[in-house]
């Protein structure tokens, strides 16, 4: 009986807390240079706009047919709640009637994509028919109806629009800052040479100097560490981004192991392969000290686990160095065969 009462209490508390809020996954639109994501919970239009403002933006303002089509495709799985089925797929946008129709962002876009029966409805809040919606499938038309604002079971999610990336180091918008993102950055350009920023790739220019270069990798290593709760930037040589620079791991993901496996790659290398300077290859030595093995050896034995770079004893460092050069020699011999 006592266990039953405790369980009941937990259920009541969870119920009172309301629906869980999902983490937002952000999508980048290179045509607009903006980021878009869904609100974290189904809600009325007013609450969805509040969620959008809390994220630093507004419900989306749609400026042309190209943006409307992109939204329709990108968020086609933003299903509504209990009383509607997946083919009735809609999401709030920023168009609303408050002393006249206007956008919640205050922008003056005159583009519209109104549903053919617009005049038969009296609601004040607009939603976008995303896709798979009966005869409206894929057409990206808008409708308005107060029912979705007032009845919880019918309430959809909203589409948030932001002017800039909410997590700049998260290039793929999955809510994590990890090896995938640094691999994307190091694949983008020969970082030591630098690349003038193409409009579609502006997200990689973290320091906003109009060039994708080594400075952006430095910025990413610092921003990623902060995002992941570390007090110091990730180190050159930390191929698996586990917070330390080591020789060997049981699962084969030791930093020197990863570098030795890819030693000699001349093109297409990324951070996770051992390309720690972002020049697209994996090498041992460079005259300026920026060879990938050189960078790894400089930080060998260092760890960010306690928020500072641990300095190993000289004898330990010597043993680690011997292990690195042994792996490098093995990798070099294997790759030149």
Tokens 């690349």 sit at which residue? 195
Mean pLDDT calculated for residue range 286-299:
91
pLDDT surpasses 70 at 77: yes
Query: 236 falls in which pLDDT band (50, 70, 90)?
Result: very high
Rounded to an integer, what distance in angstroms lies between the CA atom of residue 203 and that of residue 334?
Answer: 38
pLDDT surpasses 60 at 233: yes
Asked if 144 contacts 124 with a C-beta cutoff of 8 angstroms, the reply is: yes
Asked if 182 contacts 38 with a C-beta cutoff of 8 angstroms, the reply is: no
Q: How far is CA 210 from the centre of its chain?
A: 21
Q: How far is CA 50 from the centre of its chain?
A: 22
Based on DSSP, count helices (H) and strands (E) in the chain, helices before strands: 9, 10
pLDDT surpasses 50 at 16: no
Task: Tell me the residue length of the chain.
Answer: 337
* DSSP annotation string for 213-264: SHHHHHHHHHHHHHHTT-SSPPPTT-TT-SSB--S--TTS--HHHHHHHHTT
Confidence (pLDDT) at 88? 59
Confidence (pLDDT) at 89? 76
Mean pLDDT calculated for residue range 2-14:
37
pLDDT surpasses 90 at 337: no
pLDDT surpasses 60 at 86: no
The closest alpha carbon to 84, from 159, 143, 157, 156, belongs to 156
In 149-217, the DSSP E strands lie at 159-162, 195-196, 211-212
Look at 7-16, 171-180, 318-327 and tell me which has the smallest mean pLDDT: 7-16
**Tokens standing for 40?**
């974290």
pLDDT surpasses 50 at 11: no
Percent residues over pLDDT 90 in the chain:
46
Look at 108-117, 205-214, 256-265 and tell me which has the smallest mean pLDDT: 108-117
Per domain, the residue ranges of the chain are 19-162, 179-336
The closest alpha carbon to 186, from 121, 280, 266, belongs to 280
Rounded to an integer, what distance in angstroms lies between the CA atom of residue 91 and that of residue 22?
Answer: 15
Reduce the secondary structure of 141-155 to three states and give it as a string. CEEECCHHHHCHHHC
Mean pLDDT calculated for residue range 97-101:
83
Query: 156 falls in which pLDDT band (50, 70, 90)?
Result: confident
Helix (H) or strand (E) holding 34, with range, is strand 34-38
Of the two residues 117 and 238, the one the predictor is more confident about is 238
What are the two backbone dihedrals, phi and then psi, of residue 73, each rounded to the nearest 5 degrees? -80, -45
Rounded to an integer, what distance in angstroms lies between the CA atom of residue 327 and that of residue 325?
Answer: 5
> Which residues, at least 6 apart from 226, have a Cβ–Cβ distance to it below 8 Å?
none
Rounded to an integer, what distance in angstroms lies between the CA atom of residue 219 and that of residue 318?
Answer: 31
Rounded to an integer, what distance in angstroms lies between the CA atom of residue 138 and that of residue 132?
Answer: 6
* Model confidence, pTM: 0.67
pLDDT surpasses 70 at 13: no
Query: 313 falls in which pLDDT band (50, 70, 90)?
Result: very low
Asked if 283 contacts 335 with a C-beta cutoff of 8 angstroms, the reply is: no
pLDDT surpasses 90 at 304: no
Cα separations in angstroms, 59 against 1, 93, 94, 201: 48, 5, 4, 24
Mean pLDDT calculated for residue range 96-120:
82
Rounded to an integer, what distance in angstroms lies between the CA atom of residue 199 and that of residue 80?
Answer: 34
Confidence (pLDDT) at 312? 46
Superfamily of domain 19-162: Mannose-Binding Protein A, subunit A (3.10.100.10)
Confidence (pLDDT) at 23? 61
Confidence (pLDDT) at 272? 95
Tokens 């974290």 sit at which residue? 40
> Which residues, at least 6 apart from 174, have a Cβ–Cβ distance to it below 8 Å?
25, 180
Mean pLDDT calculated for residue range 161-187:
92
Helix (H) or strand (E) holding 91, with range, is strand 89-97
Percent residues over pLDDT 70 in the chain:
74
Query: 150 falls in which pLDDT band (50, 70, 90)?
Result: confident
pLDDT surpasses 50 at 4: no
pLDDT surpasses 50 at 255: yes
């Amino acid at each position: 009986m006592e266990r039953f009462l405790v369980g009941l209490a937990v259920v009541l508390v969870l119920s009172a807390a309301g629906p869980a809020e999902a983490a937002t996954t952000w999508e980048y639109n290179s045509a607009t240079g903006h980021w878009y994501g869904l609100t974290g919970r189904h809600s009325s239009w007013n609450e969805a706009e509040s969620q959008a403002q809390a994220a630093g933006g507004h419900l989306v303002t749609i400026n042309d047919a190209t943006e409307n089509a992109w939204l329709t495709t990108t968020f086609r799985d933003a299903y509504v709640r209990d009383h509607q089925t997946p083919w009735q797929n809609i999401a709030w946008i920023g168009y609303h009637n408050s002393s006249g129709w206007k956008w919640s962002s205050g922008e003056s876009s005159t583009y519209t994509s109104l549903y053919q029966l617009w005049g038969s409805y009296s609601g004040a809040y607009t939603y976008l028919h995303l896709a798979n919606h009966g005869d409206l499938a894929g057409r990206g038309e808008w409708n308005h109806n107060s029912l979705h604002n007032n009845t919880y079971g019918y309430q959809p999610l909203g589409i948030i629009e932001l002017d800039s990336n909410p997590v700049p180091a998260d290039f793929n918008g999955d809510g994590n800052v990890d090896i995938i993102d640094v691999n994307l950055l190091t694949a983008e350009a020969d970082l030591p040479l630098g690349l003038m920023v193409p409009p579609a790739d502006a997200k990689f220019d973290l320091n906003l100097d109009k060039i994708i270069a080594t400075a952006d990798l430095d910025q990413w290593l610092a921003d990623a560490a902060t995002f992941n709760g570390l007090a110091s930037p990730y180190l050159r040589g930390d191929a698996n981004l586990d917070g330390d620079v080591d020789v060997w791991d049981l699962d084969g993901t030791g930093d020197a192991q990863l570098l030795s496996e890819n030693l000699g790659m001349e093109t297409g290398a990324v951070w996770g392969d051992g390309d720690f300077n972002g020049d697209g290859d994996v090498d041992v030595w460079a005259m300026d000290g920026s060879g990938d093995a050189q960078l790894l050896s400089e930080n060998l034995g260092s760890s960010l686990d306690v928020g500072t770079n641990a300095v190993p004893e000289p004898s330990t460092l010597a043993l680690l160095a011997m292990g690195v050069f042994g792996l490098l020699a093995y990798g070099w011999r294997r790759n030149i065969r």
